[in-house]
Amino acid sequence: MPLGEFDLIQQFFTRDQDQPGLVVGIGDDAAVVKIPPDRRLVVTADTLVAGVHFPEQASPEDIGYKSLAVNLSDLGAMGAIPRWYTLSLTLPVANEAWLSAFSTGLQLLETEEAVVLIGGDTTRGPLSISIQAMGLVRPGAAVLRSGANAGDDIYVTGTLGDAALGLQSVVGEVSESLLPGSALAGCIDRLNRPQPRTIAGYSLAPFVTAMIDCSDGFTADLGHILRASGCGAEVMLESLPLSSAVRCWVESQGWQLPLSGGDDYELIFTADSAQREVINGIAENLHCAITPVGKVVPGAGLKLIKRDGVVVESDPRGYTHF
Amino acid sequence: MPLGEFDLIQQFFTRDQDQPGLVVGIGDDAAVVKIPPDRRLVVTADTLVAGVHFPEQASPEDIGYKSLAVNLSDLGAMGAIPRWYTLSLTLPVANEAWLSAFSTGLQLLETEEAVVLIGGDTTRGPLSISIQAMGLVRPGAAVLRSGANAGDDIYVTGTLGDAALGLQSVVGEVSESLLPGSALAGCIDRLNRPQPRTIAGYSLAPFVTAMIDCSDGFTADLGHILRASGCGAEVMLESLPLSSAVRCWVESQGWQLPLSGGDDYELIFTADSAQREVINGIAENLHCAITPVGKVVPGAGLKLIKRDGVVVESDPRGYTHF
């Protein structure tokens, strides 16, 4: 007998609903939450579609984890603390093993980030996962894309291009002679299990002028900040933080991959140069690499500058969804 | 040149973001809203998939309207006032005519209900629309499914079965000899443009004990109230409110369609008999038919009773998503 929607939610998506601030959880027409009067609600929504955002053969546990991670990453980029999410799951068939592993992937990140699934629905159709995540910030503390000023430093957390290299590897575009499988395993993990930089996001929020998460690629996402802020930027190409695997790739294949590869979910942000010590302190505290990569400048456009002073034109397109 | 995601959002989904309570609207990593301290946030999410929730040939304007309507209906069933929503739109191709009409359908209902699109994303893939809607209630005022008591009256707004008859008609299952096309037009409209009972929902909320919106069918949705409340019910079959088209169908085809047909988005609710006059007054005020159809009784199960006293067994299954 096939699982009905209600059995399915009961079996795989019921969570402990005894949570601070959660008045009504899963099981009614809608959930009810209490927002503290000294907080603002931050809301984001992202859909992942099979064959577009993850390979058809991706494990259901990875799919669950990543679906939630990309949404929490958006909250992190606002400086918000994630609290709740809803899940709209569209599935061709209700396969119990798949659902169990998918739910496990979600729960792993729920635990890591202390977020609670409070509602949603399940539907029959081609596999796709829509998540809407909610978090809290203090009034006036949300970090927008539009606050960068000429003279600000530009920073990136972690390393760039790993997820894109992982994807190249998964689709068979990386030869063993270029990079051994062991070097690529970490990149595939970055692709499948992105770590949302939520703690870094809300730790940095009071000290930065603009912030975005790197989902479409470095030049595209920095471009969003620059357009929203009405500024340009100069980035020192060799200062971009790269893992050893991506560095090896760049040596033979050039810079395209770390510049325009998406799915890294690192934070790109700008800050007044007076904040350098604070930012270094946060990096040390969180054991999170935070690398200065350039400066915001007056005008428009993004200049990528090589060590020898040669200006490389950037590709402003990044990842296009259509 | 194909439309990119950003052009597409800019062209079709940008709304006036100068709205009370909206701190940051579309265009950043997430939206930010201010929740009044004397209100609770009510959150619901529902996905519509082509070929499952609307016919493949449905007009994009209808698809837009219905996608938002089914979500607002859930808020209405909680007694909440709708305020904001996010849209995750998955599309095979970015067709401008389609997008424009889809957006028009959304905007019609946005205006009628004073709700604002504050975020979301667009993705390439099989057509599906995930909406997450948010509304507000006073603390303690959300109406749950679990509050019905033995002795309560059971009510239904509007009429039942019209959307299901509209679907029968659309798929060619209604012969002209049974019902003329003109009689079916209203039913097809109910299917394609359901009117969420939001004003009725929050007007009734202080006076009712349990409420749900009728999306899966009358017996299934009343069944949710009964199970959540630990009660049974006796419903007088002939008292169920039917349009003339559905009444005509029932005379030759029996009661299955208004009992288990989904997609009506009427409210089913229970109230103490002391509230009868208030409820009649609300019905008159809102020009909304509100019909008593039976009583909540101790025990479990739903008895459907014919005029002659014969008890008809109900089909408790309703619409199953899998």
Across the interface, whether the CB atoms of A45 and B132 are under 8 A apart is answered yes
Q: Which residue has the tokens 């630990």?
A: B230
Q: Predicted ipTM? A: 0.90
- The domain ranges of chain A are 5-137, 153-313
Q: What is the pLDDT of residue B314?
A: 61
- Tokens representing B263 are 């997609």
Burial A220-254 (b: 16+ CB within 10 A, else e): bbbbbbbbbbebbbbbbbeebbbbebbebbbeeee
Q: Which CATH superfamily is domain A5-137 in?
A: PurM-like, N-terminal domain (3.30.1330.10)
Q: What is the pLDDT of residue B313?
A: 67
- Tokens representing A110 are 């729920």
Compute the distance between CA of residue A95 and CA of residue A90 in angstroms, rounded to an integer: 12
Across the interface, whether the CB atoms of A47 and B121 are under 8 A apart is answered yes
A-chain residue closest to B1, CA distance: A322
pLDDT tens, chain A, 322 aa long: 345 666 777 788 888 878 889 999 988 999 999 999 999 999 999 999 988 888 778 899 999 999 999 999 999 999 999 999 999 999 998 889 999 999 999 999 999 999 999 999 998 899 999 999 999 999 999 999 999 999 999 999 999 999 999 999 988 888 878 888 788 999 999 999 999 999 999 999 999 999 999 999 999 999 999 999 999 999 999 999 999 999 999 999 999 999 999 999 999 999 999 999 999 999 999 999 999 999 999 999 999 999 888 887 665 544 444 4
Mean pLDDT of the region B258-287: 97
Burial of B232 (0-12, 13-18, 19+ CB in 10 A): middle
Summarised one tens digit per residue, pLDDT across range B210-237 is 999 999 999 999 999 999 999 999 999 9
Q: Does B196 touch chain A (CB under 8 A)?
A: no
B-chain CB neighbours of A43 within 8 Å are: 30-33, 84, 86, 118-119, 134
pLDDT classification of B98: cutoffs 50, 70, 90: very high
Across the interface, whether the CB atoms of B28 and A78 are under 8 A apart is answered yes
B-chain CB neighbours of A45 within 8 Å are: 86-88, 119-121, 130, 132
Burial B18-37 (b: 16+ CB within 10 A, else e): ebebbbbbbbbbbbbbebee
The minimum CA-CA distance between A68 and chain B, rounded to whole Å, is 14
CA distances (Å), origin B181, targets A161, B172, B174: 60, 11, 9
Mean pLDDT of the region B108-130: 93
Q: What is the pLDDT of residue A247?
A: 95
Q: Which residue has the tokens 């014919």?
A: B306
pLDDT classification of B19: cutoffs 50, 70, 90: confident
- Asked if the model's pLDDT at residue B4 lies above 60, the reply is yes
Mean pLDDT of the region B295-303: 94
> Which residues make Cβ contacts (< 8 Å) with residue B180, sequence separation at least 6?
none
Which of the pair, B18 or A284, is modelled with greater confidence? A284
User: How many CB pairs below 8 Å do chains A and B form together?
Assistant: 227
A-chain CB neighbours of B322 within 8 Å are: 2-5, 8, 91, 93-94, 122, 124
Q: What is the pLDDT of residue B6?
A: 61
Which 128-167 residues of chain B touch chain A by CB within 8 A? 128, 130, 132, 134-135, 137, 139, 142, 144-146
Mean pLDDT of the region B71-92: 96
Q: What is the pLDDT of residue A1?
A: 39
The minimum CA-CA distance between A308 and chain B, rounded to whole Å, is 35
Summarised one tens digit per residue, pLDDT across range B141-184 is 999 999 999 999 999 999 999 999 999 998 888 887 888 878 89
Chain length of chain B: 322
- Asked if the model's pLDDT at residue B195 lies above 60, the reply is yes
Please provide the DSSP assignment of A276-321 as one string. Answer: HHHHHHHHHHHT--EEEEEEEESSSEEEEE-TTSPEEEP-------
Among B8, B34, B123, the residue with its CB nearest the CB of A49 is B123
Across the interface, whether the CB atoms of B88 and A86 are under 8 A apart is answered no
Architecture of the domain spanning B153-313: Alpha-Beta Complex (3.90)
